[in-house]
Amino acid sequence: MTNKPALVWDIEIRIFHWLLLAFVVGAWMTVEMGPPSLLGLHEVLGFGIGAMLIFRLFWGLFGSWHQRFASFVRGPVSVLSHLKSLLTGKPQRFIGHNPAGGVMIVALLLVLLGVVASGIATMGGFDKAGPLAPYLTFAQGRQAKEIHELLVNILLVLAGLHVAGVIVESVFLKENLIRSMIHGRKEAHPDFIAPPGPPPVARPGLAAVLASLVVASLGSAMFYSSLKPALGVPMLGHNPQYVKECGACHTPHHPSLLPASSWKLVMAGLSDHFGDDASLTEGNRQEIETWLVKATELGWDTKAGQRIPATLKPADPMRITASTFWERRHRKIPEPVFKSKLVGGKANCQACHVDAVRGGFSPLGIAIPEEIK
């Protein structure tokens, strides 16, 4: 009964489909399996997915007929009648997306859009980086992170249903739909249900120009926005006395890592400073304490500046490395790493965090040094 195979999925949509899959899988893997520094690649893949979604939007308006939203977005009645036809064993055959598939495409695109948006919001508020860093608080970033993770879980479920749907239809229609997404053709059938109306002509040039314009303007807007100072990350001048005296023995810990009350305790107990005699002349001591207290008063809306002071152990209020947040974040680091010659101790933050002195602690700036043998 089969006739000449018809080209249904054009080359643009096939490239989009498989590239999107690769980017999504890659983005998922970088976070689930990679070291924290791979978050940078995760973000690049995320922006890439965002750009692809913009292209897909325009291809859904100006692409070839089966790729247009107008051809496959159907109401609930058609969706139900299609699903019923599957149950009766006489499935309706569509050239392009069937109505249920159309719903899935829209759902996948919308959820992905939400994943990208919440990802950029997480990056902005939680990591104080990227285009939204000047606008979002840490608390908002944490909420965005939860939404991001929720949407990713929804996406995984949808992707599973999408694959299941493809397999079900392939079995019912006795046609390998996965291969169709590779070579683009579907076997023609006399009982095909064609989308309504005369198929309009694809306008790849128009779609490309519009998508490029939007990607370029949105991209440059985001680039310039990401150059602005992040919200809640004040400019803090370098205090030479602090760096000289405290930095002589350890990383000059960023003032945001402890509350003023803890800093006062530290500066009052220098003759027994975590077991060391770190006495200063009274003049130096006072100068450094004053600076530390003033620096904390600037208000630090960073991850470390929010989470470490908030999770210090009440019995050990001066020890940054005893905070629940610090412990949780370092639980996967084996003890020998801290004891190695290149690190030397838990207080040597800058051994692994390139931006420790600035109090940044970006996941992108983590590099655990390895002994050269």
Q: How many CB atoms lie within 10 A of CB 92?
A: 17
Among residues 32 and 277, whose Cβ is nearest to other proteins? 277
Asked if 250 interacts with other proteins (CB under 8 A), we say yes
Give the residue, chosen from 280, 288, 304, 364, that forms a contact with other proteins under the rule CB under 8 A.
Answer: 280
Report in angstroms how near the CB of residue 61 gets to other proteins at its nearest: 59
Task: Determine whether 128 is exposed, middle or buried from the number of CB atoms within 10 Å of its CB (0-12, 13-18, 19+).
Answer: buried
Q: Which residue has the tokens 């109401």?
A: 75
Asked if 279 interacts with other proteins (CB under 8 A), we say yes
Report in angstroms how near the CB of residue 267 gets to other proteins at its nearest: 16
Report in angstroms how near the CB of residue 368 gets to other proteins at its nearest: 13
Asked if 159 interacts with other proteins (CB under 8 A), we say no
- Tokens representing 65 are 């007929």
What are the residues whose beta carbons fall under 8 Å from the beta carbon of 288, sequence distance 6 or more?
Answer: 239, 241, 242, 245, 246, 267, 280
Among residues 17 and 319, whose Cβ is nearest to other proteins? 319
Report in angstroms how near the CB of residue 331 gets to other proteins at its nearest: 20
**β-strand partners of 276:** 273
Cα pseudo-dihedral 90, 95, 98, 99, rounded to 10: -110
Asked if 248 interacts with other proteins (CB under 8 A), we say yes
Among residues 90 and 339, whose Cβ is nearest to other proteins? 339
Among residues 224 and 274, whose Cβ is nearest to other proteins? 274
Site string for other proteins, 325-364 (x = CB under 8 A): ----------------x-xxx-xx--x-------------
> Among 6, 4, 5, 12, which residue's Cα sits nearest to residue 64?
12
Instruction: Give backbone dihedrals phi and psi of 186, rounded to 5 degrees, phi first.
Output: -125, 145
Report in angstroms how near the CB of residue 336 gets to other proteins at its nearest: 14
Site string for other proteins, 281-310 (x = CB under 8 A): x-----------------------------
Query: Rounded to 5 degrees, what angle do the CA atoms 92, 71, 217 make?
Result: 145
Give the residue, chosen from 15, 194, 213, 249, that forms a contact with other proteins under the rule CB under 8 A.
Answer: 249
**β-strand partners of 193:** 94
One-letter identity of residue 332: K
Give the residue, chosen from 251, 329, 354, 365, that forms a contact with other proteins under the rule CB under 8 A.
Answer: 251
Q: How far apart are CA 274 and CA 238, in angstroms?
A: 25
Report in angstroms how near the CB of residue 353 gets to other proteins at its nearest: 13
Among residues 26 and 359, whose Cβ is nearest to other proteins? 359
Give the residue, chosen from 32, 191, 277, 335, that forms a contact with other proteins under the rule CB under 8 A.
Answer: 277
Asked if 266 interacts with other proteins (CB under 8 A), we say no
Q: What is the 3-state secondary structure (H, E, C) of 164-215?
A: HHHHHHHHHHCCCHHHHHHHCEECCCCCCECCCCCCCCCCHHHHHHHHHHHH
Which residues lie near other proteins (CB under 8 A)?
247-251, 275-281, 341, 343-345, 347-348, 351
